[in-house]
Amino acid sequence: MQSNQTTWWNRPEPLALVLMIVLLCLSGMARATAEPPPPFIIHSLPNDARITIYSEYLKDSDASLTIQQVSRAPIASQFQPATRYVERLGIQQNPWWVRLAIKNEYREQQTYSLQLRGNPNATLYVPAPGGRSYQPAEPDARIPGRGASYRVHLPVGEEQLFYLQLQPQGYLTYGLSLSTLNEHLTAQRHQDNVYMLLTGALLILIFYNLIAAVMRGGKTYYYHAGFLLCITLISLLLADFLPHELTDGNQLQSRLLFPLMLVAMTAAAGITRSYFRLQNNNDWLNRTTRLLLIAPLISAPLTLFLPVTITAYLCFAAVSSAAVILIAMGYTTWNREQNGGGLFFITTLFLALPAIILGLAYLGILQTSAELPQWLMASTVIQALTLGIGLRIRVAHQAQLRIEQQRSQAIAETVDSTRRETLARIGHDIRTPLSGILGMSEILADTPLTPNQRECVGAIQHAGDNLLRIINDVLENSQLSNDSSDVNQASLDVHDLLMEAIDLFKERAEEKQIELITHVHTNVPGRVLGDAGRLRQVLTNLTGALIRHGTPGELIVDVSLEPTGQADRVRFGFSGSTLSEEALNRLQASQRQNESSHLSLVIAEQLVESLHGRMGNLQDQRGTHYWFVVPLPADHSSQPKTVKVDTACLEGRSLLVVDDSSTVTRVLRHHALSWGMRVTACHDPREALASLRTQANINEPFDIVVLDQQMPGMDGMQLAARIHEDPVIIHPTVLVMLTGIQQAPSSTQARNVGIHRVLSKPVSAPRLRQVLAEELGHGAQPSPETVNAKPSPDLRILVAEDHYLSQKVIRGMLGKLGLKADIASDGQEALTLAEKSRYDLILMDCEMPEMDGFEATRRIRQHEQRHALPATPIVALTAHILKEHKDRSFAAGMNAHLPKPVELNTLRETILRFTNSDSADADSPLASGEVLD
């Protein structure tokens, strides 16, 4: 029986399977011997032929591949072809493999130079004998010099496949070139010469900056020298100028490179800061350069410990960012038209642009085949030359400015010195006759005079005192302009100081119908430490300016502690209805027109600043307020005044205040309550009269009535008369009237209507308290030391004075004290009399012909020392009041400085102080050195 089935080998399916197996075997054999890349064919002698594009590269991700693995399948098939003449693969950490095929079709065998640029840490593998494996090239195959170059032998007509193992330095850059050995050596010498030339230029610039820094000073030169040194080292490291024995197999180059990059950033920031003096500014330039100055220095040590790849990323990114920031800074300074800003912007471009290209290239973002280290060095040389020119121009400009400033300062000092000397001379010449006027008026006041004559003498004394105070303020202000830091800290009374300043403007304020009101709060210490002269000038300047532009109304001077809680800060405030919006506009207009009021405000502001205070003004719904705050610490060591007021007599007493001004009644009520009194305030005279009747009917009459002179409907004189005429008011009540200067009644008129005391407004709280206590029969009791205290009539006194009127005044004052004196007309005569006779006290004028008082005093002290005589107290009696004259008096050997015109009480106290044998001054007259004002 015939079968229809065929054998298995006659079937088509097994045959196809066998064919597939054969093809797979053939394919595996093909993969086992992977084809090399297309070779670079040599047709003629190559001269630095760039053959990178004929190479292929492979990343060794885990650093485990060997030459046997990469030269065979399947690893050999994973190589990627290069596409550029210089391959910049960015930040890398593990090794990379590069393979290159070369075929020599030239007519004879040659030894060529295979040069690897950009990475000296490389190992070349050449075919082993037999051609089936690879081995490292012989050590002598490496050509000495910069980079990694190898001798390779290429037989004619054969294709050679070479492998290179590259070790990244935190970044991976490689370029391959082929040339003959002689051409390679020639080209290398040429490149090395270029680098050496640029290095020499940079070293010269470094030494130049160091020498300039030493000779001219300034941080800019030091920063620039450090910056140039860092750029030089960075460029040489990137150009592979370290010997390959130091770089193969280690990371020395990268460990040196990255700290140098950060230090260069710091130096660049330092150049910017010192060039423009940004430390004196507070804008973004200052803050940014400060960050660029500090952050790299702090980060530099970290580069020695962080992984190389992280360090490389951070450093190259930081350099690129810093270069962009420097370009922005340079443009900003140029746009602001700062001195040297345009030149600095140009130098920034020369340096920052190559730095940006270098950073982007080594990060693998930008591909370029340029010799970047060479570019960097060349641009740095241009930048250094440009910046050096800019620094020379800047130094010359600054030197010219210093010369002009010194010239201007010398002129200003000469003008100021001349002005001060002129003012001092004028002040002395004015004070000398003024001393005679005031002295003679004081002597005249002690003679029998008619009431009209006595009033005229009082007017002369008042006007003379005001003129004297103005002269003192002018002289003190001239002294302030010379040395505003010389603040005279002395004990002072705020009440007295305020009243002295206000008294100058009473008449002017009354003419403009402005009522001056002072209010010193009870929390202000009785005595404080401060400069009375400067404070008085501030108060007079502000008060004068505000009165000049004020409208009819009230001007309130309020003194209190600073509300912020600082115990030593006292606030002086000016407010009231006289400071209207119209007045403020006029005052502001005076500032624009340089009117005298503006000068007063400027002087006041300078004085407050010299006192370490602050000044300002504000406008709110209550009106305009001017204020200034100065430190016035309480003086707890000062002795109480000789005259004391027993305030116990005021406690429990009832007081009626009658004034149409609510501000005045509020201030008086505040003070009276602090004295323990019971206070009632009335704003209408008829209301006050009704209150007096009511209290009399209930047998609780008022003890004191303080009333105003000028009131609507009924003035103070009429109210006082009505009080004494009223049959209901039978209790004796003390009447005290507050009035202005022009409307003040005479003492006879006041007594006729029953007024006990008339006080000029504004009145200080201590003065009002003293008057009330005196009128209640518990007045102040002088201390026993000063009751009828007169110097001994046996005293021998010598007066050295060249001015005839001053001689007459001092002789008259001494006569009132029961004393006689010898008179010397010049210093030589005073010296002769002092050497012949012993005096208990010498009053010495400082400005005299022949010999001045200073020289006479020195001669007297020398005479006393030669003959071992006790020192005679010598008091300077002079019209000079400036501190330099006072210091000169003490330096000459005087014991005290008594300015003219002198008051009788001051003269008596001075004589008692230096002639009383029980006092400390008599025991040690030379140690006093006091200013007796």
Cα separations in angstroms, 918 against 300, 651, 914: 77, 39, 10
Helix (H, G, I), strand (E, B) or coil at 26: helix
- The predicted pLDDT at position 7 comes to 44
pLDDT of 20 higher than 60: no
* Sign of the four-CA dihedral 166, 169, 171, 175: negative
Tell which phi-psi region holds residue 117, choosing left (phi > 0), alpha (psi between -120 and 50) or beta: beta
Nearest to 354 by CA among 329, 333, 383: 383
Instruction: Decide if 713 contacts 682 (C-beta within 8 A).
Output: no
Give the other-Cβ count within 10 Å of 372's Cβ: 22
Helix (H, G, I), strand (E, B) or coil at 878: strand
Angle between helices 883-892 and 853-866 (to 10 degrees): 20
Instruction: Decide if 117 contacts 174 (C-beta within 8 A).
Output: yes
Residues 118-170: pLDDT tens digits? 777 788 999 888 777 889 988 888 888 777 889 998 888 888 899 999 988 77
Amino acid identity, position 272: T
Amino acid identity, position 326: L
Cα separations in angstroms, 329 against 236, 264, 295, 348: 28, 17, 18, 9
**Beta carbons within 8 Å of 189's beta carbon, 6+ residues apart:** none
Q: Per mean pLDDT, which of 343-347, 493-497, 900-904 is the most reliable?
A: 493-497
Q: What is the DSSP letter of 745?
A: P
pLDDT of 366 higher than 60: yes
Nearest to 313 by CA among 97, 91, 485: 91
- The predicted pLDDT at position 251 comes to 58
Q: What is the DSSP letter of 631?
A: E
Cα separations in angstroms, 667 against 8, 89, 683, 744: 135, 87, 13, 21
pLDDT of 860 higher than 90: yes
Instruction: Decide if 90 contacts 312 (C-beta within 8 A).
Output: no
d(CA 877, CA 844) in angstroms, rounded, equals 5
Higher-confidence residue: 5 or 861?
861
HSE-up of residue 613 (Cα within 13 Å, Cβ side): 27
Q: What is the DSSP letter of 637?
A: S
d(CA 583, CA 551) in angstroms, rounded, equals 7
pLDDT of 2 higher than 50: no
d(CA 521, CA 560) in angstroms, rounded, equals 5
Distance of CA 210 to the CA centre of its chain: 31
Instruction: Decide if 160 contacts 124 (C-beta within 8 A).
Output: no
- The predicted pLDDT at position 229 comes to 92
Nearest to 443 by CA among 46, 817, 744, 154: 817
Considering the entire predicted model, what is its pTM? 0.47
> Widest CA span of the chain, in angstroms?
186
pLDDT of 98 higher than 90: yes
Beta bridge partners of 126: 135
Please state the rounded mean pLDDT for residues 848-855.
Answer: 88
Residues 786-833: pLDDT tens digits? 445 678 888 899 999 887 767 887 887 888 788 889 999 888 999 999
- The predicted pLDDT at position 348 comes to 82
Q: What is the average pLDDT value for the chain, to the nearest integer?
A: 79
Task: Give 3's pLDDT tier (boundaries 50, 70, 90).
Answer: very low
User: Pairing mode, if any, of strands 797-800 and 821-824?
Assistant: parallel
Instruction: Decide if 341 contacts 333 (C-beta within 8 A).
Output: yes
Please state the rounded mean pLDDT for residues 596-609.
Answer: 73
Which phi and psi (to 5°) does residue 877 adopt? -115, 95
- The predicted pLDDT at position 25 comes to 44
Examine residue 631 and say whether the peptide bond preceding it is cis (omega within 30 degrees of 0): no
pLDDT of 596 higher than 60: no
Residues 626-637: pLDDT tens digits? 889 999 888 877
Angle between helices 581-592 and 532-548 (to 10 degrees): 110
d(CA 107, CA 45) in angstroms, rounded, equals 10
Q: Which two tokens stand for residue 749?
A: 């008129």
d(CA 591, CA 600) in angstroms, rounded, equals 10
CA angle 177, 178, 181 (to 5 degrees): 130
Residues 276-307: pLDDT tens digits? 777 666 577 778 888 888 888 888 888 878 88
Instruction: Decide if 560 contacts 524 (C-beta within 8 A).
Output: yes
Which phi and psi (to 5°) does residue 876 adopt? -75, 120
Instruction: Decide if 856 contacts 831 (C-beta within 8 A).
Output: yes
User: Pairing mode, if any, of strands 678-682 and 654-658?
Assistant: parallel
Residues 525-534: pLDDT tens digits? 888 888 887 8
Angle between helices 494-503 and 765-775 (to 10 degrees): 100
Q: Which two tokens stand for residue 41?
A: 């064919």
Higher-confidence residue: 911 or 904?
911
Higher-confidence residue: 311 or 894?
894
Higher-confidence residue: 600 or 849?
849
Beta bridge partners of 50: 177
- The predicted pLDDT at position 30 comes to 39
- The predicted pLDDT at position 486 comes to 60
**Beta carbons within 8 Å of 688's beta carbon, 6+ residues apart:** 656, 658, 682, 705, 707, 719
What counts of helices (H) and strands (E) characterise the chain? 27, 31
User: Pairing mode, if any, of strands 148-154 and 110-117?
Assistant: antiparallel
Instruction: Decide if 442 contacts 465 (C-beta within 8 A).
Output: no
Residues 831-843: pLDDT tens digits? 999 999 899 999 9
Domains of the chain: 40-189 (2.60.40.2380), 192-406 (1.20.1070), 485-631 (3.30.565.10), 647-781 (3.40.50.2300), 787-931 (3.40.50.2300)
209-223, 443-457, 464-478, 858-872: least confident range: 464-478
HSE-up of residue 181 (Cα within 13 Å, Cβ side): 12
- The predicted pLDDT at position 930 comes to 52
Q: Where in 30-84 does DSSP place strands (E)?
A: 40-42, 49-50, 55-59, 80-81
Higher-confidence residue: 331 or 678?
678
d(CA 739, CA 745) in angstroms, rounded, equals 8
Q: Which two tokens stand for residue 502?
A: 């206000």
In the chain, helix, strand, coil percent, each to 5? 50, 20, 30
Q: What is the 3-state secondary structure (H, E, C) of 390-450?
A: HHHHHHHHHHHHHHHHHHHHHHHHHHHHHHHHHHHHHHHHHHHHHHHHHHHHHHHHCCCCC
Instruction: Decide if 756 contacts 771 (C-beta within 8 A).
Output: no
- The predicted pLDDT at position 197 comes to 92
Nearest to 739 by CA among 756, 763, 722, 721: 763
Residues constituting the chain: 933
Residues 638-682: pLDDT tens digits? 655 544 556 678 888 999 999 988 889 999 999 999 888 999 999
Residues 42-73: pLDDT tens digits? 888 888 888 999 999 999 988 889 998 998 88
d(CA 706, CA 334) in angstroms, rounded, equals 72
Please state the rounded mean pLDDT for residues 721-744.
Answer: 81
Nearest to 859 by CA among 835, 883, 826: 835
Please state the rounded mean pLDDT for residues 404-433.
Answer: 76
Task: Give 309's pLDDT tier (boundaries 50, 70, 90).
Answer: confident
* b/e per residue 491-506 (b: at least 16 CB within 10 A): ebbbbebbbbbbbbbb
Share of the chain above pLDDT 90, in %: 12
Instruction: Decide if 704 contacts 671 (C-beta within 8 A).
Output: no
Residue in this structure with the two tokens 């990244």, named with its chain if needed: 168
Task: Give 758's pLDDT tier (boundaries 50, 70, 90).
Answer: confident
Task: Give 28's pLDDT tier (boundaries 50, 70, 90).
Answer: very low
Rg of the chain over all Cα atoms, to the nearest angstrom: 50
d(CA 165, CA 158) in angstroms, rounded, equals 23
